[in-house]
Amino acid sequence: MKKLNSWIGAARLRTLPLSISGIIVGTTIAFQQGFFSISIFSLALGTTLGLQILSNFANDYGDGVKGTDNEDRIGPARALQSGLITQKEMKQGIVLTAIVTLFLAVLLIYAAFGKENMGYALIFFLLGVAAIVAAIKYTVGTSAYGYKGFGDVFVFLFFGIVAVYGTYFLYAHSMKWSVLLPACAFGLLSAGVLNLNNMRDRASDEKAGKETLVVKMGQKGAKNYHYFLIIGAIACLVFYTVINLEALDDFLYLFGLIPLIFHLKRVDTNESPGLLDPELKILALSTFAIAVLFGFGQLL
């Protein structure tokens, strides 16, 4: 039971609602336009959750091996750092999770495109493989891009553009460029969560040689960047709603933006990195709530 709890902890369950936000948004936009499939929705959720858990395992392993997770780090202790899971066990967990995630991705692609659209199927298969590789290479290996300040790009692309726009395309098999606006919005919000995490860990990351964007920009630059991410996301959502407005229900998600206003104020006045840890949960759950409220607006 103790080992199971260790694996559950390594999976970082509190990150999972954020990871499925893009799936909810892409699905409800497609549903509003007359496209839906329960099999596509279920498999998309499964694939995304697999990618998030894979990323969490790989992050635990990569930072643990490199010594980035140490006594200087603020936040919950990691499984490898605590000795609850060995390096060998975590490697096996990463491999198993990658295989399961790829299997779910193949089923998702088949459910969406069947045998009739092999071109689309191949593109999405390559996207799936790229997402798995990117999830692992974030902190694992000598060329880990998370240590060079490119983690935000990965998060924006895969948890924003691919999650929302890719999900929409799985249903509709067509491109609607305005869907890029909510895709960008949730990519920016997801990058905001990563930025907040890196702001919290700035001192320990810099000491360990992990050059995140926060380390490169410094405290003041990271705060300004954070305002850009959150305000930019809000602007993208509002612009999408205005150009596609059908009823006032479309603005339902505005209620979910209220916690973000107070969140930005707390970040602005923050002087203690440790106090940013609760803000991670607030921003992640607010993003999920905005996705759900946005989805309800589309369905209504």
Shortest CA distance to 5 belongs to which of 84, 90, 98, 89?
84
Tell me the residue type at 16. Answer: L
Q: String of b and e for 201-238 (b: at least 16 CB within 10 Å)?
A: bbebbbebebebbbbebeeeebbebbeebbebbbebbb
Asked whether the beta carbons of 2 and 44 are under 8 A apart, the reply is: no
254-279 burial by CB neighbour count: b if 16+ within 10 A, else e? bebbebbeebbeebeebeebeebeeb
- The whole-angstrom separation of Cα 94 and Cα 102 is 12
pLDDT tens track, the chain, 300 positions: 667 787 888 888 888 999 999 999 999 999 999 999 999 999 999 999 999 999 988 888 887 777 666 665 666 667 777 777 888 888 999 999 999 999 999 999 999 998 888 899 999 999 999 999 999 998 887 778 888 888 899 999 999 999 999 999 999 999 899 999 999 999 999 999 999 989 998 888 888 788 899 999 988 999 999 999 999 999 999 999 999 877 777 888 999 999 999 999 999 998 888 888 889 899 999 999 999 999 998 887
pTM for the predicted model, two decimal places: 0.91
Give the amino acid at 41: F
Lookup: tokens for 123: 């593109």
Three-state DSSP at 68 gives: coil
How far apart CA 136 and CA 54 sit, in angstroms, is: 7
